Structure 1
């Protein structure tokens, strides 16, 4: 379990190149500056930005196949976790889906400033995104599971891996799924918060989708 900001920085540094770590520092600077312009993250969380946001996002890579090539982050907001993933894994094609104009424009600016050629920002509502397939779909505090699957099912097939940080509600939300759908998921303990869980797995209901 990550105990402090130094632990968080070390945790992240072990999982990326030196150049990626420098870029993450630049991203943190961008995030801190923009936090005074719009409510991207709570200002109080910036005192623990590496633990609460950067390592919290980076840990998702520990659960994802090395063969992953495409990743969609729904309701990306401040770029968490999607922008962190794009920085750490330049081999991935990462799509940040964010419909709120001011956040969308800021994400675009950050991608340009950090020269992230593997990252695209889609400034549209999720239901207007054309059908496509992503290897991984992430969503941090985006919507309850049933609504999430209904909205994002068009972006997935039976091989899509879902990785969903859910905080304290992870086990409760999993229990609310139909029993057959529950079998495709399990809860992983977050390393950045002892009270938080991450839902990971495959949505079996998609296997019979017409």
Structure 2
């Protein structure tokens, strides 16, 4: 997929306004500029930032999130350069909470939220373990941790209606099998629109299995 095709995909699926597109363009440019100061994304993906990072983030919105049936903020774990959390915040009015433990990346995200006028974004600087517990509507995580560790760390924010949107690579089936004996809920695997070798775990009702006595 070319960069122009990725832009067209966004406009077609999300009816992106000119103002929103300007914000997406500005954020993409900021990530590329900042990448010379800190390693936000792989340098090899810069020529394809729209397809590899922006569209890849935006596709999560097509997996059934709405404030009507999934109330609560969107929690993005290990946000890094802002994918997918900042893209979700630009494309919607959902309240989005970004969790990033690295100070320089945290400062970049705060600066971008301010410069883009994103009043629906809050950034937590620190490990997820240091964030107070509260219920959320959606949990996303892109290359944050193996599935078992991720579920263990983030489950305290989850309710029966919380939707988990977890982009994964080729090992998605193996990761699901590895947690089958310890976690239960509705787990589905959706194909990625940007990478034929990738997939997205979509889960609800996630909870630990009760241990047999």
User: TM-score if structure 1 supplies the norm length?
Assistant: 0.92
CA contact (8 A) 2:10 2:55 kept: yes
Partner of residue 6, structure 1? 4
Deviates more, 1:114-123 or 1:182-191: 182-191
Structure 1 stretches of 5 or more lacking a match?
A: none
CA contact (8 A) 1:189 1:196 kept: yes
CA contact (8 A) 2:23 2:116 kept: yes
Matches within 5 A, 1:42-191: 42-67=42-67, 68=70, 69-89=72-92, 91-179=93-181, 181=183, 184-191=186-193
CA contact (8 A) 1:55 1:192 kept: yes
Distance 1:18 1:36 in 2: 28
Distance 1:80 1:191 in 2: 16
Aligned length: 205
In structure 2, relative to structure 1, the CA distance for the partners of 1:122 and 1:194 (3 Å cut) is same
TM superposition shift of 1:172: 1.8
Question: What is the RMSD computed on CA atoms of the aligned residues?
Answer: 1.6
TM superposition shift of 1:203: 4.4
Distance 2:156 2:207 in 1: 12
